[in-house]
Amino acid sequence: GVRLQNRPIAALEQLIIPTEIRFKKDKEGTYVELPLNQSFISLDGASANAEFLVSSSAKEQIRFTINRNTQKIIIDRSSSGEVQFSEAFTAPIELDISAIGSETLTLDLWIDTSSVELFINEGKVSATFQYFSNEPISRLHYEAVDGGVTVKQIAEVKGIW
């Protein structure tokens, strides 16, 4: 059937300020510091199962689980900050990635102070969702379960206001 493909507008590329990727370790694993407020993250090579999360210094987080066996990406924002206002808000978001087949996944995330836009394989699958953290998202943690996730790019995104 027909599938809609979404992509960010090309003008967004002009707002990206590349930053150096510095890997750090803590008791929870490998992480990368993110620019505060508005960030662009590009991940490459998720060919099997993997998990990554973006978090604040207050330990608020949004968890992304890639399961190539079930052809789903699960987004869990139940610990992302203010969530008590609705049970539906804490329910996992499931993205069907079966249309991508066995292609290696590329994931681009555009994060600002209250929303995330996710584009998978140049928009073959995409999602936009809100979160209400008390502190800005400031870290990317990731764990390859049996595949591999490579941080291709992290950048600050200039504001337009």
**Positive or negative torsion for Cα 37, 40, 137, 86:** positive
* Cα three-residue angle 108-151-160, rounded to 5 degrees: 45
pTM, to two decimals: 0.88
The reported pLDDT for the residue numbered 32 is: 86
Predicted pLDDT of residue 3? 66
Copy the structure tokens of residue 65: 């689980």
Question: Percentage of the chain with pLDDT > 70?
Answer: 90
Q: What is the mean pLDDT of residues 91-115?
A: 90
Quickly state the pLDDT bin for 1 (edges 50, 70, 90).
Answer: low
Question: Could you give phi then psi for residue 121, rounded to 5 degrees?
Answer: 50, 60
Is 67 within 8 Å of 48 (Cβ atoms)? no
**105 bridge partner residues:** 46
**pLDDT tens figures, 5-28:** 777 777 778 888 888 888 888 777
Which strand ranges, in their side-by-side order, compose the sheet holding 137-144? 23-26, 29-33, 137-144, 50-56, 61-67, 72-79, 93-96
- The DSSP annotation for the chain comes to ---------GGGGGGEEE----EEEETTEEEEE--SSSEEEEEEEE-S-EEEEEEETTS-EEEEEEETTTTEEEEEEEESS--TT-HHHHSPEEEE-GGGTTSPEEEEEEE-SSEEEEEETTTTEEEEEE---SS-EEEEEEEESSS--EEEEEEEE----
Question: What's the mean pLDDT in 68-75?
Answer: 92
